[in-house]
């Protein structure tokens, strides 16, 4: 009975890991920073700014010029609004720990 319980727990843990992992980043012809950001709304991202600064958090919304980040890394009680034209790179977690 204990063995069956351990096997069941292990199977649930493995399936939960795949559920919480993120989708792979895929570029498409004609992509812009805005379109890449829009496809990743709801994901936890790291944005590398052209100034070299790194801003991380949950991507909430993207407009023509701005991106809204919540639960900012290192400042979880703050939200931020970032000028899309200032973003040099977007990193998205694609695998669970």
Is the whole model's pTM more than 0.75, yes or no? Answer: no
CA distance 67 to 32: 14
% of the chain with per-residue pLDDT over 90: 55
pLDDT of residue 11: 59
Q: Which value, in Å, is the radius of gyration of the alpha carbons in the chain?
A: 17
User: Model confidence over 55-84: pLDDT tens digits?
Assistant: 999 999 999 999 999 999 888 788 999 999
Domains, the chain, with CATH or none: 23-92 (2.30.30.100)
H runs (alpha helix) in 1-97: 2-20, 33-39
Q: Are 73 and 57 in contact (CB under 8 A)?
A: yes
pLDDT digits (tens, 9 = 90+) for 76-96: 788 999 999 999 999 988 776
pLDDT band for position 13 (cuts 50, 70, 90): low
pLDDT over 80 (residue 22): no
């Amino acid at each position: 009975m204990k063995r069956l319980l351990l096997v069941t727990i292990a199977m649930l843990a493995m399936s939960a890991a795949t559920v919480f992992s993120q989708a792979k980043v895929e570029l498409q012809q004609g992509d812009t920073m805005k379109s890449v950001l829009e496809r990743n709304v709801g994901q936890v991202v790291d944005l590398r700014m052209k100034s070299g600064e790194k801003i991380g958090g949950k991507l909430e919304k993207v407009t023509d010029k701005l991106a809204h980040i919540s639960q900012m890394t290192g400042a979880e009680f703050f939200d931020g609004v970032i000028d899309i034209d200032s973003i040099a790179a977007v990193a998205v977690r694609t695998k669970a720990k």
